[in-house]
């Protein structure tokens, strides 16, 4: 994208130039960090798995007691118009719903719906070839099923992650693993079974797609993973909309399996790319 590419956003019931999209300081997202969001990608200008992301967006809003000001049909029409106006080929689209303008800085007002679109950054070939290193941290996200805008712990840990030469942080509570700040976690056991945590997680759209693809050729479990299980694992990877499947080769300084991206991880990545391409062709 050239630096002169003009981008549009949605705010206050209209599509307007991104540089004019201002939220008032009384918004509860600023005052108290209250709000939810969702994020999907477009490839070749087409939104992928849109219905799944919209369902999760409305479900997160409900869990937080926020009302989305547009119906699903109206929101889809707005997204289509914005995507067309922005003309980005591969992009990430973020829908944010805030606690609204608050008279006293605590009680919610009518929620503000914001839609932003930006160019997409995917993992590099080098990152896929080497895999990533992660550290662990004892924490479980509050209201884990909702995609809230609260990333306090993850963002506060960025310095620690960097200091340890790692790329991300895996949350666990008393040794029971849940997820990353922005991705889900999978592990391949010694017997080849694929396992992913079932509880205290955001139900990732990529996680769901990977589970469906994996069930066609591997034994799959949604259950409990402990830090000890990782020490015995053959492979591990994370999933998210932007990362697809990213192999994890080290956890807390210890190699996972042989310390290289695993064959099941890379095989499922190819299946996921094929699924995305099939969906684009079908649209």
Ligand X SMILES: Cc1ncc(COP(=O)(O)O)c(C=O)c1O
Residues of this chain that interact with ligand X (CB under 6 A) are 39, 147, 179, 181-184, 202, 204-207, 239-241
Q: Report the nearest approach of ligand X to the CB of residue 261 (Å).
A: 19
Closer by beta carbon to ligand X, 202 or else 246 = 202
Which tokens go with 186?
Answer: 């999978």
Closer by beta carbon to ligand X, 35 or else 102 = 35
Q: Report the nearest approach of ligand X to the CB of residue 4 (Å).
A: 30
Q: Report the nearest approach of ligand X to the CB of residue 15 (Å).
A: 24
Q: Report the nearest approach of ligand X to the CB of residue 190 (Å).
A: 26
Which tokens go with 115?
Answer: 């839609």
By beta carbon distance, the residue nearest ligand X is 204
Closer by beta carbon to ligand X, 260 or else 271 = 271
Q: Report the nearest approach of ligand X to the CB of residue 179 (Å).
A: 5
Closer by beta carbon to ligand X, 78 or else 184 = 184
Which residue, 206, 197, 189, 211, is CA-closest to 256? 189
- CB count in 10 Å sphere of residue 197: 21
Is residue 154 a contact partner of residue 182, using CB atoms and an 8 Å limit? yes
Which tokens go with 178?
Answer: 């849940």
Q: Report the nearest approach of ligand X to the CB of residue 219 (Å).
A: 22
- CB count in 10 Å sphere of residue 101: 18
Which residue, 157, 202, 161, is CA-closest to 178? 202
Closer by beta carbon to ligand X, 133 or else 147 = 147
- CB count in 10 Å sphere of residue 127: 15
Closer by beta carbon to ligand X, 92 or else 101 = 92
> Residue length, the chain?
283
Q: Report the nearest approach of ligand X to the CB of residue 197 (Å).
A: 10
Closer by beta carbon to ligand X, 86 or else 184 = 184
Q: Kind and range of the H or E element at 119?
A: strand 113-119
Closer by beta carbon to ligand X, 78 or else 206 = 206
Q: How far apart are CA 221 and CA 105, in angstroms?
A: 44
Distances (CA, A) of 22 to 7, 18, 69, 114: 14, 9, 18, 10
Q: Report the nearest approach of ligand X to the CB of residue 40 (Å).
A: 8
Distances (CA, A) of 114 to 11, 31, 226, 237: 5, 17, 38, 32
Q: How far apart are CA 248 and CA 49, in angstroms?
A: 25
């Amino acid at each position: 994208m050239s630096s002169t590419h003009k981008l549009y956003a949605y705010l206050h019931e209209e599509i307007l130039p991104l540089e004019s999209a201002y939220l008032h300081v009384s918004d509860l997202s600023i005052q108290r960090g209250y709000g939810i969001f969702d994020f999907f990608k477009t490839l070749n200008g087409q939104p992928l798995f849109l219905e799944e992301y919209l369902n999760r967006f409305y479900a997160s809003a409900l869990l937080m007691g926020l009302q989305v000001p547009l119906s699903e049909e109206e929101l889809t029409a707005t997204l289509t118009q914005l995507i067309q106006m922005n003309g980005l080929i591969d992009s990430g689209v973020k829908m944010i719903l805030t606690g609204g303008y608050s008279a006293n800085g605590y009680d919610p007002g009518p929620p503000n719906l914001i839609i932003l679109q930006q160019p997409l950054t995917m993992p590099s070939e080098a990152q896929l070839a080497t895999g990533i290193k992660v550290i662990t941290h004892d924490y479980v996200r509050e209201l884990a099923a909702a995609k809230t805008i609260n990333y306090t712990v993850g963002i506060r840990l960025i310095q620690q992650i960097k200091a340890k030469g790692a790329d991300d942080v895996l949350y666990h509570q008393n040794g029971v693993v849940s997820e990353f700040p922005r991705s889900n976690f999978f592990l391949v056991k010694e017997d080849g079974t694929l396992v992913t945590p079932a509880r205290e997680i955001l139900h990732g759209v990529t996680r769901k797609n990977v589970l469906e693809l994996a069930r066609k050729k591997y034994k799959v479990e949604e259950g409990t993973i402990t830090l000890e299980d990782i020490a015995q694992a053959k492979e591990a990877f994370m999933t998210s909309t932007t990362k697809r499947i990213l192999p994890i080769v080290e956890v807390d300084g210890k190699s996972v399996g042989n310390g290289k991206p695993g064959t099941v991880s890379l095989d499922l990545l190819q299946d996921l790319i094929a699924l995305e391409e099939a969906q684009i062709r079908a649209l």
